[in-house]
Amino acid sequence: GAGVSQSPSNKVTEKGKDVELRCDPISGHTALYWYRQRLGQGLEFLIYFQGNSAPDKSGLPSDRFSAERTGESVSTLTIQRTQQEDSAVYLCASSPGQGFQQYFGPGTRLTVT
Amino acid sequence: RKEVEQDPGPFNVPEGATVAFNCTYSNSASQSFFWYRQDCRKEPKLLMSVYSSGNEDGRFTAQLNRASQYISLLIRDSKLSDSATYLCVVNAGSARQLTFGSGTQLTVLP
C-alpha cells in the first residue's frame, strides 16, 4: 500500500518568507508526527497528533512554527518568517497509535537563503 | 541527561566483523523499544522492535536490560550494505511520542 508522502521534496526560500509543508499519512493511522533533522544531527521532535485529541506541541521551537491536521488525514506544518537556522529536513511519520512503529515519509529538505 | 543516549561513533569495521551498539534510556517507565536504520540522506526505517526476552532477526540481535536501562544491537557477519546510522528509539513514558537517540554511525569497510 501507499506509504507516507510529503511535499514538496525540496524547498528553497528566502529568509523572512513563510513556507508550508504537507504530509499525507498512511490511511487509517491515527498518530502523526513531525520531526526536524539538521544536517548530521538526530531527529528533533516537533509536534504529535493523535486522533481528535489536542496535539502535543511541546517540541515546536518557536511561535513561528505551527501545524494542523484535518481529522486523521493530511497535516501541514507552517513556518512563518523563516530564518536560516530553519534549514533542515522536515520528516513526517505516521503510526497506528501511540507507542507503535512509526513509518516515515521521505522528508522535505528546506533551505533558507 | 538526555532521555535516550547513544555513542555517535563512527564505528568502522571490516566486512564479516561483529559489531555491537548500546543505548541507554533515562525513564524507567519506558515500555516500547525499537532500532531504526537511517541511510545517508534518507528517512529512518524500522530495523527491529526490541522485546524483553531479546529477539533475533537473521544477523541482527536486539537485547533489552530493564534493570540497567539499556538496549543493545548486535550485528554479526557485517555486510557493506549495513553501513548506515542506527537509531535507538524509546517510548519514554510520556505516552505521547517515541524519543529518538542521535544515532550511531556504522561504516563497513571492504
CB contact under 8 A, A43 and B95: no
Mean pLDDT of B57-71: 95
Give the DSSP H/E element, type plus range, for residue A90.
strand A88-95
- Nearest CB among A43, A99, A103 relative to B31 is that of A99
- Cell reading at A4: 507516507
Q: Is A27 helix (H, G, I), strand (E, B) or coil?
A: coil
From the first residue on, what is the mean pLDDT of each consecutive set of 10 residues in chain A (113 residues)? 91 97 94 92 89 89 94 93 97 84 94 97
Structure confidence by residue, pLDDT tens digits, A83-110: 999 999 999 999 887 667 889 999 999 9
- Nearest CB among B95, B96, B98 relative to A102 is that of B98
Q: A109 to chain B nearest CA, in Å?
A: 10
Query: Do B23 and B38 contact (CB within 8 A), yes or no?
Result: no
* Beta-carbon contacts of residue B41 (< 8 Å; ≥ 6 apart): none
- Distance separating alpha carbons of residues B77 and B60, to the nearest angstrom: 9
* Beta-carbon contacts of residue A60 (< 8 Å; ≥ 6 apart): A46, A47, A66, A67
In whole numbers, what is the pLDDT of chain B averaged over residues?
91
